[in-house]
Amino acid sequence: MQAIQWGIIGCGDVTEVKSGPAFNKVSNSSLVAVMRRDAAKAEDYARRHGVPKWYSDASKLIHDPDVNAVYVATPPSSHEEYAIAALQAGKPVYVEKPMSVDTASAKRIAEAAKKYGQKLVVAHYRRAQPLFSKIKQLLDEKLIGDTRFARLEIYKKMLLPEELVHPSRGWRVNREIGGGGIFHDLAPHQLDLMYHFFGEPIKVAGVSQNQSKQYDADDIVAGNIVFRSGVVFNGLWCFTVAKEEERDHCEIIGERGKIGFSFFDHKPVEVTVDGKTETLVFDPLPHVQQPMIEKVVNFFLDKGPNPCSGEEGVNVMRMIDQFTSHS
C-alpha cells in the first residue's frame, strides 16, 4: 500500500470541518468515497467536498476496490456493525469516539481487528494535537515534579427543546444510539487524555444521575480514578447549569506546581512552577483531527506506531461504563 484512499461511512456534521477535509490535506492520503443512508445528503456532501464517489449503502463503499481504508463516523450504535464489516473485508479502520455504546461492543471490534489481521485506530484525536502533546511532554519531563492529582470540571447549559429535536443533537441524549447522554459524547476526550498522560487505571468509580428529567440519559456524572502511576483523578460533568456557570477546566497538580488548561475552549495553557506562571499559546486548528489523521495514515502505511489502539479504546470505554453504571 503506497497511499491511503479513504471511504467515510457517515458523512455527517463531524466530517464537515473537523475531519473530512483533512483526509485530502495529509500526505499520501485522499478521500475517494463517502456514504450516508440519505442518498441526497451523500451526493451533496460529495459534490461540495470534491469527493469522486458517494453511496447510500455502506456495504458498497466497504467493497469498493478504490477504497483501502474506512473511517466510521456514524453515531456509536452502528460503530460495531460497520467497523467489523470493514475489518472482515480486509480494510483497516479508523473509528470515531466513543468507540461504541459500551465496553462489550468495543471489545468485539478490537477482537475483530485481531481475528481478521487488520489495523484499527480509535479517534481519540486530542492526544495528537500540539496543545495536548505539549502537556504530555511537560508531564513526562516532570516540569511540575511528580504528578499528584488531576481535577476536572466540565459544566454545560441544558439543551433546549428545539436542540433536542435537531437530528445532529438529539441522538446524543438517546441511550440506544449514543450509549448515554452528553457525557458519552464529551467525556471520551477527557478520559482518554488522562489515560494517555498517566497510564493504566487500577481503580475506577463514579456516580451518575438524571437530575433534570429532560431526556432519558443521565445529565450529571462524577468520578474518581487511581492510576497505577499513583496519580489520582477527580472529575465532575454537569450538563444542566445556567449559561453563566459553564466551565471547561482541568488542573494537573504536581509537587512543584500545576498545569491548567481547557479541552474545548481555545485558551492558553497556564504552567506554574515554583510560584511563577507562564502561558503557552497555541493557534486554533482548521481541522481538529488532522494531526491524528496524519498519524493514522503513517500507521496504516507502516511508517509509525498506532496512535490509539483498539485496546486503548476499550479501556476508555470501560472507564465510561464504570462511571455511569447504576449497579
Same domain flag for 191 and 206: yes
Gap between the Cα atoms of 190 and 37, Å rounded: 31
Q: What are the phi and psi torsion angles at 284 (to 5°)?
A: -65, 145
Predicted pLDDT at 305: 98
pLDDT of residue 179: 81
Q: Whole-angstrom Cα distance, residue 207 to residue 25?
A: 42
Cα–Cα distance, 293 to 128 (Å, whole number): 9
DSSP state letters, 177-232? HHSSSHHHHHHHHHHHHHHHHH--EEEEEEEEE-SS-SSSS--EEEEEEEETTS-E
In whole angstroms, give the CA distance from residue 258 to residue 134: 14
- Cα 96 to Cα 147, 231, 267: the distances in Å are 30, 28, 25
324: in domain: no
Q: What is the Cα–Cα distance from 181 to 177, expressed in whole angstroms?
A: 10
* Total-model pTM: 0.95
Q: Is 280 left (phi over 0), alpha (psi -120 to 50) or beta?
A: beta
pLDDT tens for each residue of 87-135? 999 999 999 999 999 999 999 999 999 999 999 999 999 999 999 999 9
Same domain, 141 and 113: no
User: Same domain, yes or no, for 35 and 153?
Assistant: no
Tell me the CA end-to-end span of the chain in Å, nearest whole number: 47
Whether residue 320 is contained in a domain is answered as: no
| Domain co-membership, 120 together with 157 | no
Question: Domain for residue 172, yes or no?
Answer: yes
One domain, residues 239 and 276: yes
User: How far apart, in whole angstroms, are the C-alpha atoms of residue 269 and residue 274?
Assistant: 17
On whether residue 38 sits in a domain, the answer given is yes
316 domain-assigned? no
Same domain, 100 and 21: yes
CATH number of 167's domain: 3.30.360.10
Whether residue 213 lies inside any domain: the answer is yes
279 occurs within a structural domain: yes
pLDDT at residue number 327? 58
Q: Are residues 270 and 301 in the same domain?
A: no
Is 141 found in the same domain as 80?
no
Q: Give the DSSP letter string of 233-254.
A: EEEEEEEEE-GGG-EEEEEEEE
| CATH number of domain containing 21 | 3.40.50.720
Q: Do residue 108 and residue 153 come from a single domain? A: no
Could you tell me if 271 and 301 lie in one domain?
Answer: no
> Based on the domain organization, do 255 and 138 belong to the same domain?
yes
* DSSP H helix total and E strand total for the chain: 12, 14
Question: What is the pLDDT at residue 167?
Answer: 66
Q: Retrieve residue 29's grid coordinates.
A: 492520503
Q: What is the pLDDT of residue 309?
A: 98
Strands 120-122 and 29-35: unpaired
> Does any domain span residue 122?
yes
- CA gap 152, 194 in Å, rounded: 10
The ranges of the chain with pLDDT < 50 are none
227/115 same-domain check: no
Domain containing residue 47: 4-126+289-307
Which three-class secondary structure state does DSSP give residue 93? strand
Q: Is the dihedral angle over the CA atoms 34, 40, 46, 49 positive or is it negative?
A: negative
Domain count across the chain: 2
